[in-house]
Structure 1
């Protein structure tokens, strides 16, 4: 009797369609894979570009003999280069026997392409800490800037700053604002407050420009004398008006080096000085009367109001009146200039506004590592600030 053929028993799990294994890479692995492909493509492009540059330099293609040939190939050497795409390892750079070929792909001895160096510099200038710059660079390019790279970037900025501070100036300026701004600078293991004395000039066309910086421990006579003498050494012969606060060292320096130049005392600072001696309950009334002095259309009207103001408050607030009279002869100097200029030259707001902008961009820097670093970064920040023109009548 024939044996019955029994069908093999197959479990449900064996009959189901087999699932493919999970072959999708992790997101980070996939990103790194794409970065590697992009870096490889950039490397091929750069190496091909340099070969074409070398061919143009020596005047002949590989193995070609021509009457115009100017040199011979001499193999390659390798170097690393950090690009915005990522780090290229062992980039093959061609060379010639006479060592006259220099590729325009990157600057000699520069491990960062120019765009990357510029971006990192802008981050430093904007006040971003070195640690944060490293984190950002590592995220974008796969590698953080080395300490030597940071040093090179800072050195480049310092060289540009030195050229700026020694440049020639105009012979004649319509207005020069003088004031200082404090920064914290590290000296060894200690940090100290350093004052950056600053001159902001307005030329005869109304264009504003920072003329000079000087680091000083305070607003001393010597510090301001050095800054004003620097203006003279670089060509400044005439200034129509100084606008300042009431620092004694500054006033003495102006009297010494520019004795013929009239001076406008900052009215905003003067108002604060006077109000500090007035009880709060009376300040609104006193301030309205005080502003009424220099809001007159003519100096004659302003003098009438000034006399009335002193008569009204002399007995009630003698200390406030003493503060008012300390710089009385320089309070109304602005009336000697065209009316269109008055709102711009009655106070040091022009330079205070500049300092405020600088402070916003450097607040993330707790302490500058050196005095030179402080001056250089402040200069670099100012180069990126637009200074609107002032009407000069």
Structure 2
């Protein structure tokens, strides 16, 4: 008799299983029982499947089936069961009986010793935490969705598992050269004695192929205003992780950073974030003048030379200085760090001008932080920011658009920084 093909055997087995399940469902309905729910059929079937699998594991371990004596009359045998409650994705909390052996050598696989969750609970909890839910809200979520009791402390322990991963991420090796590093702050409420705003800094590096990567996260001090010593520590951290050269460091009014850059990466150019400067300017003026003011600002940041930009600024000051004296004061204070990119090719200006690299990241941070309100500790805030960072899609459409925009700039960098560019095969 010819052997039945494997595919047909599988189909036949599936049909038999479906028929058996259909009979169970019909019987449950006839008895008025729920299919799902605390005492539903799904929970009962899940328990039966797990207990059957555990019995099969025990049979393999002992070498003989239940109610059968071992060969030779001596050896390890079954020794009753112990009750255990496990959490599953489909059925929530399920009570099962785990078989025991007299020698105590049985190590189950499907439900390992001390294992209480047969589910992606850890992944779900971490994902919800990254979206800004508190440990109490996550605990309530599992009670509502799974009918499972998971304490706030358990959720905290689950999310704490990422701390070691975060520390490894913060110490990972980096590339040797970055065309630009964008550094920006997001303010987070942290309860340290009393709730107050704390800055947390993110650095995004753009490599010579146009790929973006979050290089690290650092907690600042209450009130911000970090010293040059603080920034020396941040930049030295990058250098110790392999960064040898940075062409541009783009930031927004971070005092102490320019001096630290000059010490750690003496060839790097500190560039004020133009988008931030424009937004800060508009905040000082009435909204009805924003369009007109934006046109006058464009004459400054698109000027062909520093001299032409200064001429544009003088016109701006003459026109807007009297009604809004804070505007020319803002630009004078930022002028030294605003002008460097004016000396470079328009393609280089374009990629330095755009802050999409860090704005999209900050919007994700703000959503997660805003949902939480405040954090009990600095580490709790860093943990959430790291989880948001970890969840970024490295091949997302934004990344592709940025890399495409970067291609013309790469040619400009290759000419302008020819003496600092690596060989083509190393790009």
Question: If the TM-score is normalised by the length of the shorter chain, which range does it land in?
Answer: 0.7 to 0.9
1:215 maps to 2:219: yes
Pairing of 1:351-362 with structure 2 (within 5 A)? 351-362=358-369
Q: What's the offset of the Cα at 1:322? A: 4.0
TM-score, scaled to structure 1: 0.78
Q: What's the offset of the Cα at 1:134? A: 2.1
Residue of structure 2 equivalent to 1:310: 313
Cα gap change, 1:96/1:341 in structure 2, threshold over 3 Å: closer, same or farther? farther
Residue of structure 2 equivalent to 1:230: 237
**CA distance in 2: counterparts of 1:266 and 1:225, whole angstroms:** 20
Q: What's the offset of the Cα at 1:98? A: 7.9
1:199–1:211 Cα contact (<8 Å) kept: yes
Residue of structure 1 equivalent to 2:177: 172
2:248–2:269 Cα contact (<8 Å) kept: yes
RMSD: 3.3
Residue of structure 2 equivalent to 1:3: none
Cα gap change, 1:34/1:167 in structure 2, threshold over 3 Å: closer, same or farther? same
**CA distance in 2: counterparts of 1:131 and 1:51, whole angstroms:** 39
Pairing of 1:324-363 with structure 2 (within 5 A)? 324-334=331-341, 339-363=346-370
Deviates more, 1:193-202 or 1:29-38: 29-38
Residue of structure 2 equivalent to 1:116: 121
1:201–1:208 Cα contact (<8 Å) kept: yes
Pairing of 1:127-146 with structure 2 (within 5 A)? 127-146=132-151
**CA distance in 2: counterparts of 1:171 and 1:370, whole angstroms:** 34
**CA distance in 1: counterparts of 2:109 and 2:88, whole angstroms:** 15
Cα gap change, 1:177/1:186 in structure 2, threshold over 3 Å: closer, same or farther? same
Pairing of 1:249-260 with structure 2 (within 5 A)? 249-260=256-267
Residue of structure 2 equivalent to 1:285: 292
1:244–1:266 Cα contact (<8 Å) kept: yes
Cα gap change, 1:232/1:192 in structure 2, threshold over 3 Å: closer, same or farther? same
Cα gap change, 1:173/1:34 in structure 2, threshold over 3 Å: closer, same or farther? same
Give the counterpart of 1:32 among 31, 39, 58: 39
Q: What's the offset of the Cα at 1:237? A: 1.3
1:77–1:94 Cα contact (<8 Å) kept: yes
TM-score, scaled to structure 2: 0.72
**CA distance in 2: counterparts of 1:341 and 1:254, whole angstroms:** 20
**CA distance in 1: counterparts of 2:236 and 2:217, whole angstroms:** 12
Residue of structure 1 equivalent to 2:13: none
Cα gap change, 1:173/1:108 in structure 2, threshold over 3 Å: closer, same or farther? farther
Higher RCO, 1 or 2 (CA under 8 Å, sep at least 6)?
A: 1
Pairing of 1:31-110 with structure 2 (within 5 A)? 32-48=39-55, 50-51=57-58, 55=61, 60-62=63-65, 75=79, 78-84=83-89, 85-92=91-98, 94=100, 97=103, 99=105, 102-106=107-111, 109-110=114-115
Instruction: Report the 3-state secondary structure (helix = DSSP H, G, I; strand = E; otherwise coil) of the residue aligned with 2:298.
Output: helix
Residue of structure 2 equivalent to 1:263: 270
1:39–1:86 Cα contact (<8 Å) kept: no
Residue of structure 2 equivalent to 1:9: none
Cα gap change, 1:26/1:330 in structure 2, threshold over 3 Å: closer, same or farther? same
Unaligned runs of 5+ in 1: 1-22
1:194 maps to 2:201: no
Q: Which has the higher helix share?
A: 2
**CA distance in 1: counterparts of 2:368 and 2:380, whole angstroms:** 15
Cα gap change, 1:139/1:278 in structure 2, threshold over 3 Å: closer, same or farther? closer
How many correspondences in the alignment? 357
**CA distance in 2: counterparts of 1:374 and 1:353, whole angstroms:** 19
Instruction: Report the 3-state secondary structure (helix = DSSP H, G, I; strand = E; otherwise coil) of the residue aligned with 2:122.
Output: helix
Instruction: Report the 3-state secondary structure (helix = DSSP H, G, I; strand = E; otherwise coil) of the residue aligned with 2:243.
Output: coil
Cα gap change, 1:274/1:150 in structure 2, threshold over 3 Å: closer, same or farther? closer
1:243–1:266 Cα contact (<8 Å) kept: yes
